Amino acid sequence: MAAQKNVVVVGAGVIGLSTALVLSRHRNLSITVVAKHMPGDYDIEYASPWAGANYFPVGKPGSNLQRFERATWDELDRICREVPEAGIHYQDTRTYGRRKDAGTATGQWFEELTKEDAWFKDVVPNFRVLPKSDLPEGCDTGTEFTSVCINTAVYLPWILGQCVKAGVTIKRGILSHISEARSFHSSGHADVVVNCTGLLASTLGGIMDSNVYPGRGQIVLVRNEPGVMLTVSGTDDGSEEATYIMQRAVGGGTILGGCLQHHSWESQPDPNLA
């Protein structure tokens, strides 16, 4: 049997908790998660609880993001089928692309979603290209497929519980430098540190990643049930704005959005945008 290795995962957002849960399946690993923010917290530094959230594969073919998205679908599909209490449900999805949005922040964000030869066409169920006759005025591309929508207020506590059930130790702590992470392991020392700090990778000593910055979104939450998850690549109101509608699982309401504002840390709603 291989010798036990001690692992510290820094960060308890969806990436940190997912990483810890996957690593916990290896019996020779002893895992501790340390994080400033935990499920149940709401802070502008902690992105996960603010997410919509849904599965919209936007990674470019051949990129790391595309490979992650391909693997992620299989797990989300399994959870959706087998674990209803996790807060994920299937949604029929339609995406529309407008020619005028090419090159805008939101147009680039949604580019892969509206391609007729989308790489994920054989990954998600029921993919089809919408005929031109089914497209709204001003749109020149459109796709339809089955995806999922996640109620993050339910999902994050669920995946935290799965980590605890799997024997992962959870600690709340604030690091000023990544080198401090090793001492947070339950044994007092870690062999491996996994950085899942998300936004805080931009300010954490020893990392200070200048390529990490916030992409701010703002939404309106309503009670209506739209019956379909919908997105359009932009609006005529500004290059940072797009149209999307998604219904969160298990009574989480319906999101009307939204925007993508690069480099904005603003935590307060903008009434003009709403």
Rounded to whole angstroms, the Cα distance separating 107 from 12 reads 30
Token output for 192: 């491996």
Element (H, E) at 16: helix 14-23
- Cβ neighbors of 44 (< 8 A, separation 6 or more) are 214, 265, 266, 267
Helix axis angle for 152-165 and 14-23, nearest 10°, is 30
Which amino acid appears at position 177 of this protein? H
Is 213 assigned a ligand-binding role in the annotation? no
Judging by beta carbons within 10 Å of its beta carbon (0-12, 13-18, 19+), is residue 86 exposed, middle or buried?
Answer: buried
Query: Among all chains, which residue has been given the structure tokens 């947070």?
Result: 184
The span from the CA of 95 to the CA of 130, in Å, is 9
Do the beta carbons of residue 130 and residue 144 sit within 8 Å?
Answer: yes
- Would you state the structure tokens that stand for residue 179, as one six-digit string? 């080198």
**What string of H, E and C letters represents the secondary structure of 158-183?**
HHHHHHHHCCCEEEECCCCEHHHHHH
Q: Is 197 annotated as a binding residue?
A: yes
Q: Which residues are annotated as a binding site for FAD?
A: 197
Binding residue positions? 197, 244
Per the annotation, where are the binding residues for D-dopa?
A: 244
